[in-house]
């Protein structure tokens, strides 16, 4: 059974190595780890795609070329085209509710306020898909949550679109082998 693995992120160069693009970062790691083909643009789905196998499981790695909050359009098109059920979809995302340096997987959960995940749930008309949620939360976020909605929303947007420091980037990359092991359990 083919699995669709979607890394969430924003496509423009300015967003590389930002917290919101940790899904893209993991997919780059994964493609290298499993010796997948280079990502190629698929104009019909508006995504960069690489096909490969993880052990014996066929996988399609996907980096949508739309902004995170429109990811559902891409996921829906690809799921229909390849006839992939929601339960065979794995979304790799940043998560503000998980402490930086940690990660969780989940199945059949709500979006937790993540606009990209909301978009996917809406497009698939279900939340019965897997998610690998990579923690990006820091203490400053806790303080921001106590502020007015407007101030909080501005802080959160600036935070998720900010680049990881070199030290944070190293910490994230050190998590990838453990996230890969968790992915194997889901497959």
Number of domains in the chain: 1
pTM (two decimals):
0.92
DSSP-derived pairing of the beta strands 3-7 and 130-137: unpaired
* Residue pLDDT, tens place only, 46-71: 999 999 999 999 999 999 999 999 99
Reported as a single tens digit per residue, the pLDDT across 106-127 is 999 999 889 999 999 999 999 9
Query: How far is it, in rounded angstroms, from Cα 92 to Cα 76?
Result: 16
Lowest mean pLDDT among 4-8, 88-92, 112-116, 139-143: 139-143
When pLDDT is averaged across residues 137-155 and rounded to a whole number, the result is: 71
The whole-number pLDDT of residue 63 equals 98
**Mean per-residue pLDDT for 168-172?**
93
Q: What is the average pLDDT across 169-179?
A: 95
pLDDT (0 to 100) of residue 182: 96
- Side-by-side strand order, sheet with 89-99: 40-42, 47-54, 57-64, 3-7, 89-99, 130-137, 103-107
Catalytic residue among 3, 20, 114, 133: 20
Which pLDDT value is given to residue 144?
A: 65
Q: Which residue has the higher pLDDT, 34 or 96?
A: 34
Q: Report residue 152's pLDDT band, with 50, 70 and 90 as the boundaries.
A: confident
Question: How high is the pLDDT of residue 140?
Answer: 63
77-104: average pLDDT = 95
pLDDT(34) > 70: yes
For residue 24, the domain's CATH number is 3.40.50.1470
**Would you call 20 a catalytic residue per the annotation?**
yes
- Which domain, by its residues, includes 12? 3-186
What is the number of other CB atoms lying within 10 angstroms of the CB of residue 168? 17
């Amino acid at each position: 059974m083919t699995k669709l693995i979607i890394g969430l992120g924003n496509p423009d160069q300015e967003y590389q190595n930002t917290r919101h693009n940790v899904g893209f970062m993991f997919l780059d790691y994964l493609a290298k780890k499993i010796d997948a083909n280079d990502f190629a643009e698929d104009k019909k789905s508006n995504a960069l795609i690489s096909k490969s196998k993880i052990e014996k499981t066929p996988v399609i790695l996907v980096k949508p070329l739309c902004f995170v909050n429109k990811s559902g359009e891409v996921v829906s098109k690809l799921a229909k085209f390849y006839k992939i059920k929601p339960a065979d979809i794995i979304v790799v995302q940043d998560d503000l509710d998980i402490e930086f340096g940690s990660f969780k997987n989940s199945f059949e959960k709500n979006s937790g306020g993540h606009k990209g995940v909301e978009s996917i749930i809406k497009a698939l008309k279900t939340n019965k898909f897997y998610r690998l949620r990579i923690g990006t939360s820091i203490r400053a976020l806790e303080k921001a949550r106590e502020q007015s909605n407007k101030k909080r929303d501005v802080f959160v947007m600036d935070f998720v679109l900010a680049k990881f420091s070199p030290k944070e980037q190293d910490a994230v990359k050190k998590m990838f082998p453990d996230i890969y092991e968790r992915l194997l359990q889901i497959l």
